Amino acid sequence: MEERNVYSRVELSKILKEILEEKIVTINEDELLNNMLFYIGDEDPKLRDKLIYKTFYTLIVERKEISNPMCKELLQKLISDRYLFYRMNQSENQGVLTRSFSVLVVALILHRNRLNPFLSREEFQTTKQSVFDYFKKEKDYRGYSEQWGWIHAIAHCSDAIEEIVLSLDANKNDCIEILDSASTVFTNPLTIFTHEEDERFINAIEIMINRNFIHQEELVNWAKRLEIQENILDYRTFVQRMNGKNMIRSLMSRKLI
C-alpha cells in the first residue's frame, strides 16, 4: 500500500457512498485504503462509522473485493503504533477513535482469515499478541460521546478477542491471558461501563467454555476476582465495585456461573 493523494472528507464520503451503492465497479485499492486509514479515527461519526467502517466490512467480509495480500498489508498497518497504539499514553483524547476503529477492522480481517485462512501462523500470532497488548493498555473506557458518537474501544477489542478465541490456533493459555487482563479492565476505577461492554466480552467467554478451554469452576474463580470487598467509601472503589458487579450479573444472566 503506497502513500498516495489524500482526498477531502467530502470526496471520500462521495466515493464510499458510491461503493456501498455499487455504483463503482473498479477501485484503486491502494489509494482507497490509504484514504480510509487516514480518516479511520475522524471525529465525524458518519464518515468514521457509517461510511469507512461499513465499507471495510463490505469489501473485506461481504464482497471480498480486497485481496488476501492486501488484507495482510492492511493488517500490518493497523496493528502498528500509527493506528492500534496511536497516542496510547494520552488519556481521553481523539486518539482513541483511531485505536478503537482500527481494532474493529482487525476483527474483520481475523474473521475472514478464520473462514478462509490466508495469514501465516507467525502473522496470526503477531496479530493476536498485538490485540492482547492493546486490551491491556487501553485506558479510555468511554462508550459513547455526544460529540464523536460511538467510541467503544473495549467492546471493539472484545470483537477481535472473540475472533481470536474462535480460531483454530487459540489455546487455553490465550484464554488465561485474556481473562487475567479482563479482571483488571472490568474492575477499573475510572469509568463505569454502561454500553454493554461486558456483554460483548462475554461472547468470547462463552466460546472459551464451549471449546473447553475454560471450565465453569475456573470461571467462577475468575468471577470472584471481580468482587471488590473494600468498604472504603470513595468514588474509585465505588466504580470498581459497580463494574465488577455488572460483569458478574451479565455472567449470571447467561447462566455461565
Closest alpha carbon to 122 in 161, 72, 47: 72
DSSP result, 32-55: HHHHHHHTTT-S-HIIIIIIIIHH
Give domain status of residue 80, yes or no: no
DSSP result, 39-100: TTT-S-HIIIIIIIIHHHHIIIIIS--S-HHHHHHHHHHHTSTTTTTTTTTSTTSTHHHHHH
What average pLDDT is seen over the chain? 95
Give domain status of residue 127, yes or no: no
Q: pLDDT per residue over 220-256, tens digit each?
A: 999 999 998 877 779 999 999 999 999 999 999 999 9
Give domain status of residue 181, yes or no: yes
Say how many domains are in the chain: 1
Percent residues over pLDDT 70 in the chain: 98
Cα distances from 46 to residues 13, 38, 40, 84, in angstroms, run 9, 15, 11, 21
Phi, psi of 90 (to 5 degrees): -105, 115
Give domain status of residue 209, yes or no: yes
Give domain status of residue 85, yes or no: no
Give domain status of residue 222, yes or no: yes
- Between 25 and 62, where is the model more confident? 62
203: containing domain? 172-257
DSSP result, 87-150: TTTSTTSTHHHHHHHHHHHHHHHHHHHHHS--S-HHHHHHHHHHHHHHHHH------EETTTEE
7 HSE (CA, 13 A, CB side): 20
pLDDT at 231: 74
Give domain status of residue 191, yes or no: yes
* pTM exceeding the 0.85 threshold for the entire prediction: yes
User: Which residues is 145 bridged to in the sheet?
Assistant: 149
Q: Residues with Cβ < 8 Å from 242, sequence gap 6 or more?
A: 192
Give domain status of residue 9, yes or no: no
Q: pLDDT per residue over 36-86, tens digit each?
A: 999 999 999 999 999 999 999 999 999 999 999 999 999 999 999 999 999
User: Which residues is 149 bridged to in the sheet?
Assistant: 145
Cell of 143: 462508550
Q: Is the pLDDT of residue 1 over 70?
A: no
The answer to whether the CB of 57 falls within 8 A of the CB of 69 is no
**Res. 3 pLDDT band, cuts 50 70 90:** low
Phi, psi of 145 (to 5 degrees): -130, 135
